[in-house]
Chains A and B, each alone.
Chain A
Amino acid sequence: MPWVTLITGCLAGLAIFTILVRVAHHDQATFWLDQGTVRLSLLPAAAALAFVPYVPFRPLRWATPVPAWVTPAGHLLLAAPILALTFWAQLRIMAPAIPPHAPQDPHEPFYALIAQLIGWSAIIVAAAACTARSRFADLGGAIAAPISFAVIALAWYTPPSAKFLVRPPAIPHSIAIGWYAIAAAALILTCAAMRDHWHRCTRSPHRRPTAVMTRRRCP
């Protein structure tokens, strides 16, 4: 599990966010602080997430009886609380800087922001999983992260998709549904990319060994 990579990314995001909040607070420009600041500050953590599904010595691991998807899926499960903690910390840092009932509060419900961040994370994980199957597997996140950012930027700025995914003109409900739909599609892509390609020997205990050679002869 690339703990150092993940924690470095999360801490970098937190540091950037803290500096931005401090600078804005000092310049009395807190009215500019909004969920966009949170989104931008999470980019380092998102970039670190692109390295999480990477499995070193993959061919060696494929040779073991453990299915190939177990390791990256385990990495992702372990990374989820760290990312959630980073997000929570950012919101905690921003809360004192924004006065209660400030104009930027009611316009952007947090459930839409959470959906956006889940969608982003799903895109990044899908890109990383796909990269891991390509010839750029050794670079992992260095390829997956720029691709993911480009996909997110396209979704953000292309008028047809921005109509549903970005506020305004999209309403928070459509933003949440849109990003969750993207997350679901990305999850399917991730599962397909992580599936086990190795031709395993599936030996049934109830049959004779010679009769159950499904795809590959067992040694």
Chain B
Amino acid sequence: MTGPALHGTDAAAPADGGSRGAGLARTPRLRIVLGLARIEALLMVRSMLVLAGLLAGVLAAWGWFWLNPVQPLWWWADWRIGAAQLFLAMTVLVAAQLAAGRPRRDAMADLYASFPATAATRTLACLAGLAGAVPVSVLLAGVGVVMVQLRGTIGAPSIMVLAAGLVLVIAAGAAGTAIGSRFPHPLAGLLGALALFLPTATAHLLPVWSIWLIPWHYFPDQLGWLAGPLTGYPPAGGHAAELAGVAILAAIVALAVTVRSARARGLLATAGVLAVAAVFFAGAVQLEPVPAAELNHLAAEIADPGSVQHCTTASGVRYCLYPGFGRDLSSTEAPVNEVLALLPVRPSQPLTVRQVLSVDFTDTGLTRGQPQQQVSQWTAQTRNAPGNTAAASTIYLTVGEWAAAGSLTDADFNVALATAGWAAGFTPAGQNMPRPGDQAREAIAIWLAILATRPPASELQQGVQWRGLSLRRGRPTFVAIWNYPGTGGVSAAWPSRQPLPAAVYLMAKAMTRLPEQKVSQVLKDRWATWLNPRTTDAQLAAALGIQVPSGPLPPYPQP
């Protein structure tokens, strides 16, 4: 353990065994490296830049997982945690460059040359000091994992993907050390960090295959729309190997800049060639297309969800969810059961709540490298999949759009509204079918959904908006419509695809002001009449003893 940490690292020491050489002989070089590495690691942990990168990563994760109302899916979220690590990696790169360039900055070269540790020893220590970034990276990954778990995620994290995030940070630090060994000016580190960031920020300009090399970027992947991880999309192992190769290559470059011995340089050159080969091999692995068998299976899952879904029946309603989504069953059942409890009479046609996938096979990021004929076949196979067209007695829940824990209000309301629509006997509207006119059952459906889920009144009121629907003599006609809050990926039958007039919502709102018993009694007495499409809001209002809401609307957002 008394030999040099790396062959040739002591080449700068005087050969005649002067005072410096004697010092080196007394102090094992490995101990020098470890001592310096410990100091560098401590400086790295304490670095304001690294702490700022940690904060930026946490903020990014908070934005992606906490502010986003959509339920995270682990096979998507773990890549996002990797994206959060990118912010930390950028600051670690700058901090490592500053550390490696310290001896050559501010005219300090002579002072550092007088120390017993050679430049190569210091570089080796800087590289080992990157261990200081490991706990910070692990902490960031841990915070991300906790956030995702608290949002009621589906699936399990991929250790390989999370490890790739850690390797990304180390690779960035090694690159920073390599840059700092050659270019001590702080701008070099900043440019290196920007070089790390800009390909991600401009990924939409880059060729589609670049998604495999920078898979943490958010355009245009479809991971969030899948019902489970898809083998090779993106290839996590290849990506981690590529990053590890980059880290090793950067470390070799950093050492090659500072060692003096020809033998050491030869060894480093050999290792560098191997690292380059490993990087290229890992890149080639990543550029392999997604296995056709996986895509075949995915297309079959979309076209015939029943073949893979687990179906259960509760309270006469059939729920069909993809494997792994069982924990969403209770949150789906709750609003349905609330509406069922309010119904005077249940329809004869049973209700089905089914999850569907919305995957685009024309996305070349997914089907890159596949024959065009095969892609066309998958597209045709999934064109008429359930969920692409509405069905009279089925509520479709699109995977990847369901609400996260704590943000279920909108999704609950939408499921309740869809259930109420089924109860009211709505049938799917045609593509260009005009609005059939005033129907009392629309207001009843909204009233049922409001009573079942009791969303905040202000949120419902925000849905009232002006919209230009037609042009008359060059001027759009603005009408008040009501957009019910969010979609939550819920699609169900409704009499028209056109926006709902605000008057319908105002009628339902007026009904909520009446005693629930009274409204229920009126509905129960003439339920069949109310479900008749020809029964109008005016008739319903008369039966309830209220005025049809009219006149100036509340202060809506002006067009």
Contacts and interface: CB of A to CB of B under 8 A. Distances in A.
Contact of A48 (B98, B187, B198): B187
B454 to A, nearest CB: 27
Interface size range on A against B: 20 to 34
Contact of A47 (B49, B190, B202, B204): B190
A154 B205 CA distance: 24
Interface in B156-200: 185-187, 189-191, 194, 198
B455 to A, nearest CB: 22
A150 B56 contact: yes
The A contact surface, by secondary structure, is: helix
A9 B191 contact: yes
A178 B38 CA distance: 47
B169 to A, nearest CB: 16
Nearest to B94: A142
Given A43-B198, A146-B52, A139 B98 contact: yes
Nearest to A138: B106
A141 B186 contact: yes
Interface stretch (A24-32, A180-188, A195-203, A209-217): A24-32
B205 A47 contact: no
A99 B89 CA distance: 38
Contacts of B433: none
B198 A51 contact: no
Contact of B190 (A16, A40, A142): A142
B206 interface: yes
A33 to B, nearest CB: 7
Given A44-B191, A47-B191, A146-B94, A139 B205 contact: no
Contacts of A12: 191, 194
A37 interface: yes
A138 B63 CA distance: 34
Nearest to A147: B52
Contacts of A150: 52, 56
A53 interface: no
B194 A47 contact: yes
Interface string B434-465: 00000000000000000000000000000000
Given A47-B187, A47-B194, A23 B52 contact: no
Contacts of B49: 142-143, 146
A145 interface: yes
B187 A40 contact: no
B94 A32 contact: no
B98 A141 contact: no
Q: Which of B52, B185, B186, B198: most chain A Cβ within 10 A? A: B186
A37 B202 contact: yes
Contacts of A20: 202, 205
A161 interface: no
A69 B201 CA distance: 37
A23 B191 contact: no
A8 B186 CA distance: 12
A15 B190 CA distance: 16
A18 interface: no
A48 B186 CA distance: 10
A27 B207 contact: yes
A43 B194 contact: yes
A41 B63 CA distance: 25
A24 B205 contact: yes
Given A142-B186, A146-B94, A23 B206 contact: yes
Contacts of B185: 5
A40 B201 contact: yes
Given A5-B185, A150-B52, A150-B56, A142 B98 contact: yes
Nearest to A56: B106
A119 interface: no
B91 interface: yes
Nearest to B207: A27
A172 interface: no
Contacts of B91: 146
A139 B187 CA distance: 10
Contacts of B190: 44, 47, 50, 141-142, 145-146
B179 to A, nearest CB: 12
Nearest to B56: A150
Interface string A135-172: 01011111101110010000001000000000000000
A40 B198 contact: yes
B187 A9 contact: yes
A43 to B, nearest CB: 5
Contacts of A51: 186-187
A37 B205 contact: yes
A8 B94 CA distance: 17
A48 B202 CA distance: 21
A90 B206 CA distance: 18
Interface string B197-227: 0100110111100000000000000000000
Contacts of B98: 139, 142
Interface string B53-64: 000100000010
What 4 A-B pairs are tightest by C-beta distance, nearest first? A142-B186, A47-B190, A24-B205, A32-B204
26 contacts: A12-B191, A20-B205, A23-B205, A27-B205, A27-B206, A29-B204, A29-B205, A33-B205, A40-B201, A40-B202, A43-B198, A44-B190, A44-B191, A47-B190, A47-B191, A138-B106, A141-B187, A142-B49, A142-B187, A142-B190, A145-B190, A146-B49, A146-B91, A146-B190, A147-B52, A157-B63
